A and B are shown apart, each in its own frame.
Chain A
Amino acid sequence: MNPFAYTQPQDIGSALVALAAPGARPVAGGTNLLDLMKAGVMAPSGLVDINALAGAGLDAIAEDGAGLSLGALARNADTAYHPLVRERYPLLSAAILAGASPQLRNMATNGGNLLQRTRCVYFYDTGAPCNKRDPGTGCPAKAGINRQLAILGTSERCIATHPSDMCVALRALDATVHVRAANGARAIPFADFHRLPGDTPDVDNTLEPGELVTHITLPDGRRFARHSAYVKVRDRLSYAFALVSVAAALDLAEDGTIRAARIALGGVAHKPWRVEDAEERLVGHRAGELAFAAAADRILHGARGRGQNDFKIPLAHNAIVQALTNAMRGGAR
């Protein structure tokens, strides 16, 4: 690990001042950042330990009108097992518990989960070119080891995926990310928080320098609570990143007619993937395999494999149908 300065500010104002310094990075759980620093992939000149801000409420999980507010410093495990999350957003609970291990979930925070970096092997290998780690050096993944990598929204510069499970559920549930900087606060719709690689794959998200994630809010999700499911397909039964994951939620009428649908995919793109048009076209149809398969076709329109990851296209199709079927039957709870 590179030498770096360490500070532990006791209030958010001091933290924001410290984070405005060039090369400074916040650390909370540390489960991804410290690993990347050990690998030499990231080398911040200063770490700002924000854990003391838990005392200022940044670790709170609390009702927010008819919705819920999840503190950036709340641990993934505490979020997944929180009674309000389990009752109103079982999809979020299921997605979090599908990720990492109990030890990591005890450390990792909600804010940090959003800021996870890709697990592409070339990104981690400092001996290899990588446009995300070292802009302009190239992308060996396109014709290389790409079994885990993206099939949607890729660019010629990068085919990395975002590795989070939690974020897939947050995208499906229309979350909002709240951030603060020294000069003010703003709210970012979840759809706009992560970005596609385009010509600047080194930029994972739309956070500005010096901005800190303070909390995430969820709108009232109770209409989806009875019919939601998270399906994660991976190389082993537990403790592995998704090849493909699907967060699905349905609001069904008594006769099985779809009133609303939410479908987001993980493991397939640089950000959680969602096609609202496919959801809107489900409205008014009877829930069932026919409608679900049509939605899967729309969601995967334009999907492209790079060889090793070609299998992800039919896999994603099947996973979407499975997740919607599980949701229809009353999945996540």
Chain B
Amino acid sequence: MDACPHYPIRLHINGEERAFAVESWVTLLDLLRERAGLTGTKKGCDHGQCGACTVLLDGRRINACLTLAVMQNGHAVTTIEGLADGDRLHPLQQAFIDHDAFQCGYCTPGQICSAAGLAAEGQAKTFDDVRELMSGNLCRCGAYPQIARAVCAVQGIAVPGTESA
């Protein structure tokens, strides 16, 4: 008997269907980085506390470190690599550049995927809402003010103390 069975799974990653055979304990994060070759998604804490591994699962933002790849068989995953349209950056990617919303950049893929999830959820109406609903993504460089402004710019939300959204 095989002590470590491999489970065959299929995932739609960034629009492409891909097949894997994984041990039960492989997280979605480890699969993306080590088996799918998509290292844009970052491993920060690996405990769901930092948000660096945020991806979109069937369009909803989740922590890829806290779900097993085998549990997501048949589901669709969008990572930072899947947001741009060819050479044209996703509006959030462009906004992060325009608003200087990163320094070291390690949290940025998770921040941008999280912001894409926030946009899809449609619950953020104010600058404070954006800050609260981006709180699952830590930034050790402390670029929070710029990150919140970048997200607000794409969402058309007014930023206090500035003349326009």
Contact = CB atoms under 8 A, between A and B. Distances in A.
Binding partners A and B: yes
Interface of A: 1-6, 8, 27, 29-31, 34-35, 37-39, 47, 49, 51, 77, 81, 100-104, 106-107, 237-239
Interface in B22-59: 23-25, 27, 46-48, 51, 54
A37 B5 CA distance: 19
A106 B48 CA distance: 12
Interface string B103-123: 000000000001001100101
Interface in B128-158: 131-133, 135-137
Interface stretch (B10-18, B67-75, B79-87, B94-102): B67-75
Interface residues of B, number: 34
B48 A31 contact: yes
A237 B135 CA distance: 9
Interface of B: 3-5, 7, 23-25, 27, 46-48, 51, 54, 60-63, 66-68, 70-71, 73, 114, 117-118, 121, 123, 131-133, 135-137
Contacts of B63: 31, 103-104, 107
B136 A103 contact: yes
30 contacts: A3-B23, A4-B24, A4-B25, A6-B7, A6-B68, A8-B71, A27-B71, A29-B67, A31-B66, A34-B27, A35-B47, A35-B48, A38-B46, A39-B47, A47-B24, A49-B70, A77-B121, A101-B136, A101-B137, A102-B61, A102-B117, A102-B136, A103-B51, A103-B136, A104-B66, A106-B61, A106-B62, A107-B62, A238-B131, A238-B132
A77 B63 CA distance: 14
B1 to A, nearest CB: 11
Contacts of A102: 61, 114, 117-118, 121, 133, 135-136
